[in-house]
Amino acid sequence: MWFFEKKIFWFFLVTIFFFHPVWAGEDSISADITINVDTTNQQTIQEGADNVTLINNATINNNDDNASVQSFGSTVDDGLTGVTVINNAGGVIKQEGDKDQTVKAEFNTDFTLINSGTIESNDGQAVDIDRSTNSTITNNAGGVITARRNVIRCEVACTNPTLNNSGTISNTNTLGGLIRFDKATGAIVNNNPGGVIKGVGNEDNGHHAVDLGPSGTLTNRGTIIRTDDGVPGLSNFIAAISIQGNDATVILKDDSILVGTISNINATFTGLKVHVDHGYGRSYMYHTEGPIEELADLSGNRIVKGSATAVGMGAQETVDEILGQRAYNLRTTLKRYADAPNPKATIEPFAYASHRDRGRTTLRYENYAAGTNFIYPVVPDKLNLILTVERNKLRLDEDHDVTKNSFLIGVNTNDFMELGKWKANGFAAGGWSWHDSDRDVLTNTVITGIADVSAKYESAEAITGISFTHTYDQKVSESVNNTWETDLGLTFSFSHTPSYIESLFFSWEERNLTQLSIHIGEQLTSMLGDKMQFRFGGEFEHRSVFAGKNQDHAINDIVIDFNSGTFYENSISMNTGFDYALGEYSKAYIQFNGRVSDQTAFSVGGSAGVELVF
């Protein structure tokens, strides 16, 4: 018996010697420290070590204790003040224990965490600032904070925490949320450009990308995502942003991306403010749940409740300007043709570009157009037929493009009536346009956060005008003859756009727009011999819309009456051209025109080539 017990004793000693378990140690820190060598020891900033800074350039991986880096605090009376933890680029702070925190700063005051490297928890929380006051977490660009359960959390309570994120905050499983500030009062979350807060899952257990508690403010300039089985989380349980207290504020700015709903499903929480500041003319549609006390667009767009939605009106508020540009181009083309000596059937290609700066209630745009005029004299010098075919590309601010193919067909009459030394001319034309619209809409209902919304619609246009001209001939020399022509006229334009529906979110009611302009101009035409002709002229025009200012439309079945924009324009235009006859049936030509207006808009156009006369 004694021999058997002795053998057991020696076996136990050998087992301890060869197979003893290895527990990681603990380094107690009471002064500033920089860690440059990998360690498995827990780094504990000990009791009483206020205002200490720990800088990490290595890997801290403690898998036995309940934190790899801990700023001491066990009660509200002994928590540290002013501790700073800096994890530099390339530095790693990780925790591989069961349900453990990686960086722990409970009961701390003015705790600061600055991360440019990686902070991760295999099973628990990455950052625990429970029952802290005025904690600040900064995750710089390139920084990663990730966890299997909760990434950043105040479990019981904390006051005035601040999170500034320019890096990536994510979870690796569905066992917890990302920014758990539901028990925090006065939290500030700034998700900066380039910052990503991304939560994924396949369950509805109440985990969100951001939980915002009482008096909390979330400002998103980056990307916030909460998905469920690869689709946006559009219910309370899997919301991207969940409101967990009174008087919370959500601000969506610039080109930020949000995927997943904004949920305030608990009706006892009041005072929620949702402010959108994406820029004037930006279209968006954000799914929301629950009451929103204050819904506002800080950029001046008309925002609609039910969902936080607005639509850019650029394609609608530019109808009168684009129509006015077409009327001007048609009028000047016919006038130039009428002034040509012995006009015959003509084919004339043309191109122009127009630009408008952003105004208080108008969008910046670029408009490019090219087309061809076909003119045929039915009665020489008296009655002409004209056909204009044109293709436009309208590029509006905030990612909205409209391509238009159109034609106008009509007649022009020269000198059909005389009033003393003044002669009357007139024209009338009508046509049809086919529009292809494509816009990017920011929305939390699709996985990319941006929906491509398109529409195909048509419109009819009619343009007619009358002008009175006075002509004065001046012989400069035997080979140079000038003709001065003063022109005063009215132009009436009309556009009809039937009702149409875009592929998502928006529908538009029928609209009839009518405008009238008055112009006065002076034109000099010089014949240089019998082959060359030079032209130079200018014109002032005032245009006003007097019917069709309103555009009724619907956003998610909510009807809105829109009449913002500028419905008048004063413009000055100049033109010049040069023709050289190549024979009886052709000529080389070049012509330019430019136009500026008080709506901070200008256009330039022209054509050049060899014209064949039939």
* Residue 4, in any domain of the structure: no
**With the C-alpha atoms ordered 550, 493, 466, 483, is the resulting torsion angle positive or negative?**
positive
Backbone angles phi, psi at 19, to 5 degrees: -125, 25
Q: Domain of residue 355: give its range.
A: 338-612
At which of 270, 295, 310 does a domain end?
310
One domain, residues 82 and 219: yes
* Residue 210, in any domain of the structure: yes
pLDDT given for residue 612 in this prediction: 61
One domain, residues 287 and 349: no
Global pTM value: 0.87
At which of 274, 291, 310 does a domain end?
310
* Residue 7, in any domain of the structure: no
* Residue 235, in any domain of the structure: yes
One domain, residues 465 and 592: yes
One domain, residues 499 and 567: yes
Mean pLDDT of the chain: 89
* Residue 28, in any domain of the structure: no
pLDDT given for residue 24 in this prediction: 56
pLDDT given for residue 218 in this prediction: 98
Name which of 443, 557, 546, 462 is nearest 509 in CA terms.
Answer: 557
Q: Exposure pattern of 286-313 as b/e (b: 16+ CB <10 Å)?
A: bbbbbebeebebebebebbeebbbbbbb
One domain, residues 284 and 429: no
* Residue 43, in any domain of the structure: no
One domain, residues 303 and 346: no
Is the pLDDT at 157 greater than 90? The verdict is yes
* Residue 13, in any domain of the structure: no
Local confidence band at 564 (pLDDT 50, 70, 90 cut-offs): low
pLDDT given for residue 562 in this prediction: 76
Is the pLDDT at 566 greater than 50? The verdict is yes
pLDDT given for residue 368 in this prediction: 94
One domain, residues 299 and 407: no
- Partnered with residue 173 across adjacent β-strands are none
474-505 pLDDT, tens digit per residue, is 888 888 888 899 999 999 999 999 999 999 99
> How many domains are contained in the chain?
2
One domain, residues 357 and 269: no
One domain, residues 156 and 231: yes
Residue range 55-84: mean pLDDT, rounded = 91
Q: Mean pLDDT check: name the lowest of 109-123, 401-415, 486-500, 560-574.
A: 560-574
β-pairing verdict for 179-181 and 152-153: parallel
Q: Dig out the tokens for 354 from the structure.
A: 């127009």
Is the pLDDT at 203 greater than 90? The verdict is no
One domain, residues 295 and 346: no
How many Cβ atoms from other residues are within 10 Å of residue 413's Cβ? 19
Contact 343, 588 (CB under 8 A): no
Furthest CA-CA distance within the chain: 145
For the domain that residue 455 is a member of, what is the CATH number? 2.40.128.130
521-539 pLDDT, tens digit per residue, is 999 988 888 888 888 999 9
**With the C-alpha atoms ordered 34, 37, 38, 44, is the resulting torsion angle positive or negative?**
negative
One domain, residues 446 and 517: yes
One domain, residues 478 and 532: yes
At which of 266, 293, 310 does a domain end?
310
> In percent, how much of the chain has pLDDT > 90?
62
DSSP letter at 613 equals: B
* Residue 21, in any domain of the structure: no
Is the pLDDT at 3 greater than 60? The verdict is no
